[in-house]
Amino acid sequence: MLEKLKSAALNAQKNAYAPYSKFRVGAALEANDGNVYFGCNVENAAYPLGQCAEATAIGTMIAQGASAIKQIVIASPTETFCYPCGGCRQKIAEFAEASTPVVMITPEGNSTETTVGELLPEGFTLTPQD
């Protein structure tokens, strides 16, 4: 499944709308329904109105009826890993367990893995997590 997610994130990245930053990001997640949902960043001339790739993938997951993230992959356009921003860390945490894997990849195939809990210790949740 991880290879499928990596491929989906890289493919979504190609569709990113990033005319301002030129920083095209893709994300793909495996949901609790077994399906893969993906998204890309979508920038806007009114800067705060843009959307990150992770948020796009999560929104698609929810719109299709799934409710939890089993794992997520984020594709960077450069050799530097693209970790989720603070807002996306919280958005991911809303639908994932602290132990959920978060994998960052580069175009050259390098990767690093962490967890939601490591990225967002003491994040806001509906119920407290141990």
pLDDT digits (tens, 9 = 90+) for 12-24: 999 999 999 999 9
- On whether 108 is known to bind a ligand per the annotation, the reply is no
Task: Identify whether 94 is a catalytic site residue.
Answer: no
pLDDT value at position 126?
77
- On whether 85 is known to bind a ligand per the annotation, the reply is yes
Domain boundaries, the chain: 2-119
Residues 6+ apart with CB under 8 A from 23: 41, 77, 78
CA distances from 96 to 44, 59, 71, 93, 102 (A): 28, 14, 8, 5, 10
Percentage with pLDDT > 90 across the chain = 92
- Please say whether the beta carbons of 104 and 118 come within 8 A: no
- On whether 42 is known to bind a ligand per the annotation, the reply is yes
Band of pLDDT at residue 31, cut at 50, 70 and 90:
very high
Please count the residues of the chain. 130
Task: Select from 63, 4, 59 the least CA-distant residue to 30.
Answer: 4
Question: 2-119 sits in which CATH class?
Answer: alpha beta
Instruction: Answer yes or no: is pLDDT of 129 > 90.
Output: no
- On whether 40 is known to bind a ligand per the annotation, the reply is no
Q: What is the pTM of this model?
A: 0.94
- Per-chain mean pLDDT for the chain: 96
User: Region 47-56: what's the mean pLDDT?
Assistant: 95
Say whether 69 sits in a helix, a strand or coil.
strand
Instruction: Answer yes or no: is pLDDT of 130 > 60.
Output: no
Please tell me which residue in 54, 94, 97, 118 is annotated as part of the active site. 54
- On whether 82 is known to bind a ligand per the annotation, the reply is no
